């Protein structure tokens, strides 16, 4: 089966993503600014334009070439296991030996004998859940623009990598974000439910789950102690300490955790990463300076600090950025909250400027 995006090379694919994202940022924010003061029309257009971008992402990501994204190529061979090595539907779950809901996704699409159907199903699921999250987080557009929040999320330098490469991480993270939303709303049962779903897509979900439990258990602890831990984590990582030195962690399961015992050669840059430390610290300084420090913001800042520290402790294994994404997805949420609380009367204007700056920072200047 052939589609319009199937024959693109990686460079052209990334360029098209930047062009379309840039167009949506300029066009949609212009439309929203024209509708300020017309609440119903603003919310309706905010939702409808977001839906068109979601539909584009589903088609753009779901019909990509099989060589766009390292894991896309890896899962291509994986996808054919049910057709060539399994005799029954339930035998798929014994043979694949991966995360359960990811097995279900493969099982439900393998009968088509079309890998593109699997990619399309994965893209639809990821982006629908992302859509549900931003709508819930913004109170369905009543507290701020769902569209601008989603475009800020899409402007993260790791977002396209989530969509086309680390697919199981992306599926898990989309549900983790909803779980975090319910944690902020003190709806713990729903929070646990969505964490369970996330875990069944990727077992490294235990990391953000453990961090949230730690925050809830120490909810009265002052933010300064978290900041002290953050500085300590940077120092320890710079000195060569990391989770790779704690051998039993590699036995927990999952490829990402098993990489803690990695001892070989790789093209991935291993070792202390002052570039990533500087990136995370820059945004932490912004949030500490400008956020209102209300309970919701403090919860997210504490999570950001702890998830950044976990990231720093994984600098000495390949593909440590797969742990970094657990902190990076929080940046758009804190930007959104900070702007809404600090500039309530000019939040669309300010959030537009921040969105454009965030896009240029990630897509043009730092990670072109």
pTM of the model: 0.93
pLDDT digits (tens, 9 = 90+) for 176-220: 999 999 999 999 999 999 999 999 999 989 999 999 999 999 989
* Within a domain: 368: no
Confidence (pLDDT) at 325: 96
In this structure, the answer to whether residues 59 and 188 fall within a common structural domain is: yes
In this structure, the answer to whether residues 166 and 301 fall within a common structural domain is: no
Supply the mean pLDDT for the chain.
Answer: 90
pLDDT digits (tens, 9 = 90+) for 82-92: 767 776 767 77
In this structure, the answer to whether residues 212 and 196 fall within a common structural domain is: no
In this structure, the answer to whether residues 169 and 221 fall within a common structural domain is: no
In this structure, the answer to whether residues 167 and 242 fall within a common structural domain is: no
pLDDT at residue 26 is higher than 90: yes
Kindly give, in sequence order, each residue whose CB lies less than 8 Å from that of residue 316, ignoring residues fewer than 6 positions away: 240, 242, 244, 270, 271
Cα–Cα distance measured from residue 48 to residue 15, given in angstroms and rounded to the nearest whole number: 25
* Within a domain: 283: yes
Average pLDDT of the residues in 50-55: 98
* Within a domain: 337: no
* Within a domain: 356: no
* Within a domain: 335: no
Range of the domain at 177: 1-201
Quote the number of domains for the chain. 2
Confidence (pLDDT) at 87: 66
pLDDT digits (tens, 9 = 90+) for 236-247: 999 998 877 665
Q: Which candidate, 364, 366, 358, places its Cα nearest to that of 151?
A: 358
Q: What's the CA angle centered on 278, arms 274 and 281, to 5 degrees?
A: 135
Confidence (pLDDT) at 8: 83
* Within a domain: 353: no
Cα–Cα distance measured from residue 47 to residue 131, given in angstroms and rounded to the nearest whole number: 10
Cα–Cα distance measured from residue 235 to residue 5, given in angstroms and rounded to the nearest whole number: 45
* Within a domain: 350: no
pLDDT band at residue 261 using 50, 70 and 90 as cut-offs? very low
* Structure tokens given for 223: 């933010």
């Amino acid at each position: 089966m052939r589609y319009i995006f199937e024959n693109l090379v990686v460079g052209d694919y990334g360029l098209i993503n930047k062009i379309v994202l840039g167009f949506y940022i300029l066009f949609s924010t212009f439309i929203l600014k024209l509708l300020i003061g017309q609440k119903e029309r603003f919310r309706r257009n905010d939702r409808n334009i977001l839906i068109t971008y979601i539909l584009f992402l589903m088609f753009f990501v779901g019909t990509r070439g099989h060589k766009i994204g390292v894991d896309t190529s890896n899962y291509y061979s994986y996808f054919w296991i049910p057709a060539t090595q399994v005799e029954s539907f339930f035998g798929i779950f014994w043979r694949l030996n991966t995360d359960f809901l990811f097995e279900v996704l493969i099982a439900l699409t393998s009968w088509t004998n079309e890998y593109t159907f699997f990619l399309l199903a994965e893209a639809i699921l990821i982006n629908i859940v992302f859509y549900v999250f931003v709508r819930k987080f913004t109170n369905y557009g009543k507290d701020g623009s769902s569209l601008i929040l989603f475009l800020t999320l899409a402007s993260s330098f790791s977002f396209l990598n989530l969509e086309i490469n680390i697919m199981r991480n992306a599926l898990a993270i989309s549900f983790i974000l909803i779980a975090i939303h319910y944690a902020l709303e003190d709806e713990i049962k729903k929070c646990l439910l969505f964490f369970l779903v996330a875990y069944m897509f990727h077992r490294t979900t235990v990391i953000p789950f453990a961090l949230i439990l730690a925050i809830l258990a120490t909810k009265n602890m002052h933010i300064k102690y978290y900041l002290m831990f953050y500085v300590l984590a940077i120092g320890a990582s710079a000195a060569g300490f990391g989770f790779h030195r704690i051998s039993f962690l590699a036995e927990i399961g999952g490829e990402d955790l098993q990489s803690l015992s990695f001892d070989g050669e790789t093209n991935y840059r291993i070792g202390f990463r002052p570039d990533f430390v500087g990136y995370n610290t820059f945004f932490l300084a912004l949030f500490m300076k400008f956020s209102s420090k209300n309970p919701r913001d403090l919860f997210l800042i504490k999570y950001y600090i702890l998830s950044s520290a976990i990231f720093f402790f994984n600098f000495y294994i390949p593909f440590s950025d797969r742990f970094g994404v657990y902190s990076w997805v929080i940046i758009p949420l804190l930007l959104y909250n900070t702007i809404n609380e600090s500039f309530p009367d000019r939040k669309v204007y300010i959030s537009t400027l921040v969105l454009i700056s965030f896009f240029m920072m990630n897509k043009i200047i730092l990670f072109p």
